[in-house]
Amino acid sequence: MRFHDDPGLQPERTVLAWNRTTVSMAVCSAILLRWTNFYGVFTLLPVVLLSAMAIVILFTQRVRYERQAVGLVDNKLPPNIIGVVSLTATLLIFGVVGIVFVFID
């Protein structure tokens, strides 16, 4: 892997942002487990969805970092369209499920 000389350490900041996202998803999954007594097994869908997405983000961190470091050296940084779209879709589904749970009451 080639190293970059970005004084702002842009790849490191991006990795930290994705780590915060992973932790947030894990916390939301844990909080949803408390709803299991009230809503039953239907809460397991968003728990599994958020946990799976957090695990995928965690295991793809190295690839994203290396892609950004090489992109900085080559002066070509392609956007992470798949990551952003999949995260957006996951959070939209999570939001819809949360709204449905609120209106079920």
Alpha carbon distance 83, 102 (integer Å): 29
- 3-class DSSP state for residue 72? helix
Residue 63 lies in a domain: yes
Residue 37: per-residue pLDDT: 87
Residue 69 belongs to domain spanning: 10-104
Q: Which residue has the tokens 């892609």?
A: 67
Residue 3: per-residue pLDDT: 62
The ranges of the chain with pLDDT < 70 are 1-9, 105
Please provide the DSSP assignment of 33-44 as one string: HTTHHHHGGGGH
- b/e map 43-71, b = 16+ CB within 10 Å: beebbebbbebbeebbeeeeebbeebbbe
pTM of structure:
0.72
Residue 23: per-residue pLDDT: 92
Residue 90: per-residue pLDDT: 85
Residue 5 lies in a domain: no
Is the CB of residue 47 less than 8 Å from the CB of residue 28?
Answer: no
Residue 4: per-residue pLDDT: 59
Residue 4 lies in a domain: no
Residue 2: per-residue pLDDT: 53
Q: Which residue has the tokens 């080559």?
A: 74
User: pLDDT tens across 21-46, in order?
Assistant: 899 989 988 988 888 888 888 888 88
**Number of structural domains found in the chain:** 1
Residue 2 lies in a domain: no
Q: Quick one: how far is CA 74 from the chain centroid?
A: 27
